[in-house]
Amino acid sequence: MSNSQMILVAGPYRSGTGDDPAKLAANMRAMNETALTLFRAGHLPVTGEALALPLLEVAGSARIGDRVYDEIFHPIAEQLLSRCDAVLRIGGPSEGADRMVAQARAEGKAVYAGLAEVPPA
């Protein structure tokens, strides 16, 4: 029997970036690199950003923090987390990532503070 988990990778996206596209991309890359490590370990990693960002584009979001962004960005991550087994919190300060951790705890899901805490698949 597999112990593979669907794990939401939660880390800073906007925090500390001033919405600088290069810094946003670096934060996204950090989450994606972590997700790749989880995938190669036999888990199913997901990020809210991977679902939200394409939807924001087609929904016509003009800038981070606009009405369309607020409609989609965090709500999709919250819905996604409800389907996950766990959260892996990475990176530095992030209100959104901390909200994901709080939601996971409230829903009785596992919360990992680093890759080393994630059990083998």
- The answer to whether residues 96 and 120 touch, using CB atoms and an 8 Å cutoff, is no
Residue 10, beta-bridge partner list:
89
1 occurs within a structural domain: no
Range of the domain at 54: 6-114
Does this model's pTM top 0.85? My answer is: yes
d(CA 12, CA 97): 6
119 occurs within a structural domain: no
The total number of structural domains in the chain stands at 1
**What is the predicted pLDDT for the residue at 17?**
94
Consecutive 10-residue averages of pLDDT for the chain (121 residues): 91 94 96 98 97 97 95 96 98 95 98 97 95
Tell me which residue of 108, 90, 63, 64 sits closest to 8, measured CA to CA.
90
**What is the predicted pLDDT for the residue at 121?**
95
121 occurs within a structural domain: no
CA angle 37, 25, 5 (to 5 degrees): 30
61 occurs within a structural domain: yes
95 occurs within a structural domain: yes
